[in-house]
Amino acid sequence: MKELAALNKYFYKYRKRYLAGLLFVVISNYFAILAPQITAYVVDKVQQVLPGYVPRPLAPQIDPLVRAFVNWVETSGFSFNAIIALCGVSILVLALIRGLFMFLMRQTIIVASRYIEYEQKNEIFGHYQNLDAVFYKRNNTGDLMNRISEDVGRVRMYTGPSIMYLANLITMIVLSLYFMVKKDPLLTLYVLAPLPILSVTIYIVNNIIHKRSRKIQAILSDLTTDAQQTYSGIRVVKSYAQEEAMLRAYAQRSDDYRKESIGLAKVEAFYSPAMWLLIGLSTLSTIMIGGIYYLDGRITEVGVLVEFVMYINMLMFPVMAIGWVAGMIQRAKASQGRLNELLVTKAEVHDEAATMPKESLDSWNGSVSFKEISFTYPNTGITAIKNFNLTITPGEKIAIIGRTGSGKSTIAQLLLRMYDLQEGNILINNHPIEHYAVDTLRSRISYVPQDVFLFSDTIGHNISFGKDDASETEIEEAARMASVAGEIESFEKGYETVVGERGITLSGGQKQRVSIARALLKPAGLIIFDDCLSAVDAATEKAVLGELGKYLQDKTAIVITHRIFALMDFDTIIVMENGSIAERGRHADLMEKDGVYAELFRRQQYETTVPATDA
Residues in contact with ligand ATP by CB under 6 A are 137, 377, 379-380, 382, 384, 402, 404-410, 450, 531
Q: Considering CB distances under 5 to 8 angstroms, the limit depending on partner class, which of ligand ATP, Mg ion, none binds residue 404?
A: ligand ATP
Looking at the Cβ atoms of 69 and 447, the one nearer to ligand ATP is 447
**Adjacency order of strands within the sheet including 423-428:** 383-392, 368-376, 423-428, 431-432
Q: Considering CB distances under 5 to 8 angstroms, the limit depending on partner class, which of ligand ATP, Mg ion, none binds residue 242?
A: none
- Counted residue by residue, the chain has a size of 615
Shortest distance, CB of residue 404 to Mg ion, whole angstroms? Answer: 7
Question: Which segments within 116-236 are labelled E, that is strand?
Answer: none
Shortest distance, CB of residue 146 to ligand ATP, whole angstroms? Answer: 23
Should residue 450 be labelled a site residue for Mg ion when binding is judged by CB under 5 A?
Answer: yes
Q: Please say whether the beta carbons of 601 and 427 come within 8 A.
A: no
Q: Considering CB distances under 5 to 8 angstroms, the limit depending on partner class, which of ligand ATP, Mg ion, none binds residue 159?
A: none
Looking at the Cβ atoms of 313 and 450, the one nearer to Mg ion is 450
Shortest distance, CB of residue 156 to Mg ion, whole angstroms? Answer: 43
Rounded to an integer, what distance in angstroms lies between the CA atom of residue 304 and that of residue 289? 12
Phi then psi dihedrals of residue 398, to 5 deg: -115, 135
Q: Considering CB distances under 5 to 8 angstroms, the limit depending on partner class, which of Mg ion, ligand ATP, none binds residue 590?
A: none
How does strand 368-376 pair with strand 526-530? unpaired
Should residue 462 be labelled a site residue for Mg ion when binding is judged by CB under 5 A?
Answer: no
Looking at the Cβ atoms of 322 and 384, the one nearer to ligand ATP is 384
C-alpha R_g of the chain: 37
Q: Considering CB distances under 5 to 8 angstroms, the limit depending on partner class, which of Mg ion, ligand ATP, none binds residue 380?
A: ligand ATP
Rounded to an integer, what distance in angstroms lies between the CA atom of residue 234 and that of residue 237? 5
Shortest distance, CB of residue 532 to ligand ATP, whole angstroms? Answer: 11
Which residues are CB-neighbours of 198 under 8 A, at least 6 positions away?
275, 278, 279, 282, 316, 319, 320, 323
Looking at the Cβ atoms of 408 and 522, the one nearer to ligand ATP is 408
Q: Got the DSSP string for 431-468?
A: EEGGGS-HHHHHHTEEEE-SS----SSBHHHHHGGG-T
Number of residues engaging Mg ion in binding (CB under 5 A): 2
Shortest distance, CB of residue 612 to ligand ATP, whole angstroms? Answer: 20
Shortest distance, CB of residue 560 to ligand ATP, whole angstroms? Answer: 7
Looking at the Cβ atoms of 328 and 411, the one nearer to Mg ion is 411
Rounded to an integer, what distance in angstroms lies between the CA atom of residue 450 and that of residue 438? 21
Looking at the Cβ atoms of 472 and 577, the one nearer to ligand ATP is 577
HSE-up of residue 239 (Cα within 13 Å, Cβ side)? 4
Q: Considering CB distances under 5 to 8 angstroms, the limit depending on partner class, which of ligand ATP, Mg ion, none binds residue 377?
A: ligand ATP
**Number of other CB atoms surrounding residue 424 within 10 Å:** 16
Rounded to an integer, what distance in angstroms lies between the CA atom of residue 580 and that of residue 403? 12
Q: 399-414: string of b/e by CB count within 10 Å (b at 16+)?
A: bbbbeeebbbbbbbbb
**Number of other CB atoms surrounding residue 444 within 10 Å:** 22
Q: Considering CB distances under 5 to 8 angstroms, the limit depending on partner class, which of ligand ATP, Mg ion, none binds residue 367?
A: none
**Among 11, 336, 281, residue whose Cα is nearest residue 167:** 11
Q: Considering CB distances under 5 to 8 angstroms, the limit depending on partner class, which of Mg ion, ligand ATP, none binds residue 410?
A: ligand ATP
Shortest distance, CB of residue 547 to Mg ion, whole angstroms? Answer: 23
Q: Considering CB distances under 5 to 8 angstroms, the limit depending on partner class, which of Mg ion, ligand ATP, none binds residue 379?
A: ligand ATP
Q: Considering CB distances under 5 to 8 angstroms, the limit depending on partner class, which of Mg ion, ligand ATP, none binds residue 402?
A: ligand ATP
Q: CA-CA distances (angstroms) from residue 320 to 33, 205, 324, 325, 438? A: 18, 11, 7, 9, 53
Looking at the Cβ atoms of 128 and 377, the one nearer to ligand ATP is 377
**Number of other CB atoms surrounding residue 528 within 10 Å:** 25
Shortest distance, CB of residue 594 to ligand ATP, whole angstroms? Answer: 23
Looking at the Cβ atoms of 404 and 553, the one nearer to ligand ATP is 404
Q: 229-252: string of b/e by CB count within 10 Å (b at 16+)?
A: ebeeeeeebeeeeeeeebeeeeee
Looking at the Cβ atoms of 406 and 446, the one nearer to ligand ATP is 406
Shortest distance, CB of residue 381 to ligand ATP, whole angstroms? Answer: 8
Shortest distance, CB of residue 545 to Mg ion, whole angstroms? Answer: 19
Shortest distance, CB of residue 532 to Mg ion, whole angstroms? Answer: 11
Residue type, 231: Y
H or E element, residue 262: helix 243-296
Shortest distance, CB of residue 195 to ligand ATP, whole angstroms? Answer: 58
Q: Which of residues 400-429 bind Mg ion (CB under 5 A)?
A: 409
How does strand 383-392 pair with strand 368-376? antiparallel
Looking at the Cβ atoms of 386 and 431, the one nearer to ligand ATP is 386
Q: Considering CB distances under 5 to 8 angstroms, the limit depending on partner class, which of Mg ion, ligand ATP, none binds residue 142?
A: none
Rounded to an integer, what distance in angstroms lies between the CA atom of residue 458 and that of residue 468? 14
Looking at the Cβ atoms of 142 and 405, the one nearer to ligand ATP is 405
**Among 179, 184, 124, residue whose Cα is nearest residue 151:** 124
Q: Considering CB distances under 5 to 8 angstroms, the limit depending on partner class, which of ligand ATP, Mg ion, none binds residue 513?
A: none
Q: Which of helix, strand or coil describes residue 147?
A: helix
Looking at the Cβ atoms of 36 and 579, the one nearer to ligand ATP is 579
Shortest distance, CB of residue 368 to ligand ATP, whole angstroms? Answer: 17
CA 530 from centre of chain: 32
Bridge partners, residue 575, by sequence: 401, 583
Query: Closest residue (Cβ) to Mg ion?
Result: 409
Shortest distance, CB of residue 574 to ligand ATP, whole angstroms? Answer: 11
Looking at the Cβ atoms of 450 and 578, the one nearer to Mg ion is 450
Q: Considering CB distances under 5 to 8 angstroms, the limit depending on partner class, which of Mg ion, ligand ATP, none binds residue 505?
A: none
Convert residues 79-118 into a mask of x (bound to Mg ion by CB under 5 A) and - (unbound): ----------------------------------------
Q: Considering CB distances under 5 to 8 angstroms, the limit depending on partner class, which of Mg ion, ligand ATP, none binds residue 129?
A: none
Q: Which of helix, strand or coil describes residue 383?
A: strand
Looking at the Cβ atoms of 419 and 495, the one nearer to ligand ATP is 419
Q: Which of helix, strand or coil describes residue 424?
A: strand
Which residues are CB-neighbours of 248 under 8 A, at least 6 positions away?
none
Q: Which of helix, strand or coil describes residue 447?
A: strand
* Residues at the interface with Mg ion (CB under 5 A): 409, 450
